[in-house]
């Protein structure tokens, strides 16, 4: 039987309250459990002592017999100093997807084209030639 240390939800609608339980991994989230080893109240302030209450001795016992904590419970165990949580590294998570990269490249190409058009010397008629023709016509008149 595989055993996990996980959260079981309680509380009213939009007022969550969790029990930290040791349960068979195949049992439902709020179903039967083997032992309650703590509680978690996310509505309390993060620095409140009663936000996470955990029986560390029982947690150590269950970890020693092979119970696997969920990610959230592993955070609690790490904060309590019971079990070191391995650092996660996903460098690709923050990068945009393929379509977003394509849109960014197209946008950059448009900006580059607009900058080149603005910086290119515009072909204007020579002012001296026009002025010279205008003075000749005004002189003849």
- H or E element at residue 133: helix 127-140
Could you give the CA distance from residue 82 to residue 78 in angstroms, rounded to a whole number? 6
Q: Give the per-residue pLDDT at 118.
A: 84
- Expressed in angstroms, the distance from the first to the final Cα of the chain is 112
C-alpha pair distances (Å), 22 with each of 14, 55, 67: 24, 12, 8
Q: Give the per-residue pLDDT at 119.
A: 84
Could you give the CA distance from residue 50 to residue 41 in angstroms, rounded to a whole number? 8
Asked whether the beta carbons of 93 and 75 are under 8 A apart, the reply is no
Q: What is the pLDDT of residues 61-74, one digit of tens each?
A: 999 999 999 999 99
3-state class (DSSP) for residue 6 = strand
Q: Which has the higher per-residue pLDDT, 137 or 43?
A: 43
Q: Which domains does the chain have, with CATH numbers?
A: 3-80 (3.30.1320.10)
In which band, very low, low, confident or very high, does the pLDDT at 10 lie, cut at 50, 70 and 90? very high
Q: What is the pLDDT of residues 88-126, one digit of tens each?
A: 888 888 888 899 999 999 999 999 998 888 887 766 655
Could you give the CA distance from residue 68 to residue 25 in angstroms, rounded to a whole number? 9
Q: Is the pLDDT of residue 127 over 70?
A: no
Give the pair of three-digit tokens for residue 100.
């977003």
DSSP, res 3: E
In which band, very low, low, confident or very high, does the pLDDT at 86 lie, cut at 50, 70 and 90? confident
Phi, psi of 4, deg, nearest 5: -130, 150
């Amino acid at each position: 039987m595989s055993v996990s240390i996980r959260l079981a939800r309680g509380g009213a609608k939009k007022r969550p309250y969790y029990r930290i339980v040791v349960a068979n991994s195949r049992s439902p989230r709020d179903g039967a459990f083997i032992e309650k080893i703590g509680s978690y109240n996310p509505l309390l302030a993060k620095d409140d002592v009663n936000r996470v209450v955990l029986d560390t001795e029982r947690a150590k016992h269950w970890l020693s017999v092979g119970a696997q904590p969920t990610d959230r419970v592993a955070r609690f165990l790490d904060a309590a100093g019971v079990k070191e949580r391995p650092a996660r590294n996903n460098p690709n998570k923050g990068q945009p997807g393929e379509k977003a990269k394509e849109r960014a490249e197209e946008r950059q190409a448009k900006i580059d084209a607009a900058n080149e058009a603005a910086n290119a010397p515009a072909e204007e008629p020579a002012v001296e030639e026009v002025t010279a023709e205008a003075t000749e016509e005004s002189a003849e008149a």
